[in-house]
Structure 1
Amino acid sequence: MTVSIYRVLSEAGEGGKLVAVFPDSEGNLQARAAKAGAPLSVFVQSASLSEVALRVFTPVKERGSSDSAALAALTMLRTELLDVAEVQMGDEMLPAQLCGGEWLLRQGVPDVTAIEADLSPIGLGARRVWISSLGRPNLVAEVPDLAALDTFTPNAEAISALNRATGTTGLVLLTADGPRRADLSFRAFGPLKGFLEDAASSNMLACAVGVLGASNRLPTDTNLLRAAQRMPGQPARLSVQFGEVGTGVEVWVGGAATPHRQS
């Protein structure tokens, strides 16, 4: 059966993530994923008007969930779905909604705490930062502009030590500056999570947006943002919808998935 490769959350057709979407879940899924030619493969187990069940694999193992995989599958299934749906991946059930032609997934309401920390080991000095959590706490720090964000050179050992010292598992750097009409730009690091830098991270962006909400810096004339993720050589563009709830800011993150090729 034909497998469709999608480029998800790309910036002007470049970067983002490649996801192979299979319309069925028959046979040896791991073997099929290994042959797909993409870092992620998603298999559609079932689909109705409002519910989709997926299984996600890398070329070497099954992965519990992936927002990028879900966005690719939802895009392929668009004509079979309502504008709102529930997506099941592993033990997770994620609400999804179509907004402006792009699918968004509910990330939740980040729990945000401001602290003072010495970021000198990663070259940023002492400053006010935030711990923002959606299940796993991330350290969020702001840099002055896009140039400072783009020239930051990550050191896995130093970032890991900083995360351990602050009781966090990842690091997000953000700035209000952005290219091509982006409202904010960010980079996401997670050596303690098994990667140095992620190219497209919905969860870590949601944590950063939670910080903006806690700091009263979200716009009041719109509930939509465009975010540029700036991993060198692999840029991504993500869309955010936010709204105030009793305990903070509820955040949905998603973006475009475009056909790349079929095989």
Structure 2
Amino acid sequence: MNADSVCYRTFSPAGDGGKTVVVFPDATGDLQARAAASGEPLNVFVEAGNEASLGLRVFTPTREKGSSDSAGVAALTWWAATRPVSDLMTVSMGGETLDAQLCGGEWLLRQGAVVVEDVVGDLSVLGLGVRPAWTARTERPNFVVDVPDLAALDAFPANSEAIRVVNHETGTTGLIVYCLGGPARADVSFRAFGPLRGFTEDAASSNMLACVIGVLGHLGRLPTDTNLLKAAQRMPGAPSSLSAQFEVTASGVEVWVGGRADLQPQGTVLPVSDV
């Protein structure tokens, strides 16, 4: 990491896990080369911004990425640490413009209203037999299934070929497996798989958590005394902790998801400057 950038760990439950994001305060020069030189998998460049909006470009070491909630949360955290900002922001990246809000010291990004449909299928290929399940989406549809407890969730095998079969048969692009409860008083725990999207398992997926919350709303299992939930994402070796805010509406459950972004020790907050 260079002196012209800062590094954040997003959605980390206890100093590890989550995702590491390098934030660059400008978008000049060869952005791909700068991203490759950072040594980190996610890199976000601030193109423009003011007290109510932020324009970003996101890169992996090898390509420009579309939008990334982890990158958005890291950039918002840095931006708010260097100047006064509104608690309500808009973030533009990858051709999308997302609403963001500061909630309890954490930035949350709007995922939208989740549409849920009931499914009953033979999930023997996943080792789950014939059982109820759901499709849930804000944009791309995911297949959602529950398991009884955290032990069953952690033991679920990441079998890409079996997951592809289920996705093809159900017209979905991802698989989400969840259970209620979890470590550190989490309300829900889940794992997120996407071999059809080019990854076996994701360490921190805001949109897939939104789909889980949509299913809970569909089943009438959301709490009535709060509109906030804590979630544990359980990718083996890379746990994450996410926060969600929800509102039950006539068109589905409206969900915002985000979490903490912690400045890493080797980084320092850069001086305030206009971008």
* TM-score bucket (shorter structure): over 0.9
Task: State the 4+ residue runs in structure 1 displaced beyond 4 angstroms.
Answer: none
Matched, 1:96 2:100: yes
1:9 lines up with 2:11 in the alignment:
yes
Task: Specify the alignment match of 1:45 in structure 2.
Answer: 47
Structure 1: 5+ residue runs without aligned partners?
none
Q: Aligned-residue CA RMSD in angstroms?
A: 0.9
Q: TM-score, normalised by structure 2?
A: 0.94
1:81 correspondence with 2:85: yes
1:187 lines up with 2:194 in the alignment: no
How many residues end up aligned between the 2 structures? Answer: 263
Is 1:54 aligned to 2:56, yes or no?
yes
Q: Where do residues 190-229 of structure 1 align in structure 2 (5 Å cutoff)? A: 190-229=194-233
Residues 225-244 of structure 1, C-alpha deviations (whole Å, 9 max, x = no match): 00000000000000000012
Aligned counterpart, 1:172: 176
Structure 1 residue aligned with 2:263: 259
**Partner Cα distance (2:167, 2:187) in 1:** 27
What is the letter of the counterpart of residue 87 of structure 1? V
Opposite residue 162 of structure 1, the aligned amino acid is V
CA distance in 2 between counterparts of 1:226 and 1:9 reads 11
> Paired residue for 1:148?
152
TM superposition shift of 1:144: 0.1
Match of 1:250 in 2: 254
* 2:112 maps to which of 108, 113, 128: 108
The residue aligned with 2:272 is none
> Using the alignment, how far apart are the partners of 1:168 and 1:80 within structure 2?
42
Q: CA deviation at 1:248?
A: 1.3
SS in 2 for 1:77: helix
Between the aligned partners of 2:247 and 2:77, the Cα distance in structure 1 is: 24
Give the conservation status (yes or no) of the 8 Å contact 1:9–1:238. Answer: yes
Shift of 1:121: 0.3
Structure 2 residues not aligned, in runs of 5+: 269-275
Give, in angstroms, the shift of residue 177 of structure 1. 2.4
Q: Alpha-carbon deviation of 1:80?
A: 3.4
Q: Match of 2:273?
A: none
TM-score, normalised to structure 1, is: 0.98
Question: Residue in 2 aligned with 1:28?
Answer: 30
Superposition deviation, residue 213 in structure 1: 0.5
User: Which is further off, 240-249 or 201-210?
Assistant: 240-249
For residues 139-190 of structure 1, give each alpha carbon's deviation from its aligned partner in whole angstroms, at most 9, with x where no partner exists. Answer: 0000000000001111100100110001100000000021111000000000
The SS at the match of 1:262 is coil
Distance in 2, matches of 1:233 and 1:42, equals 24
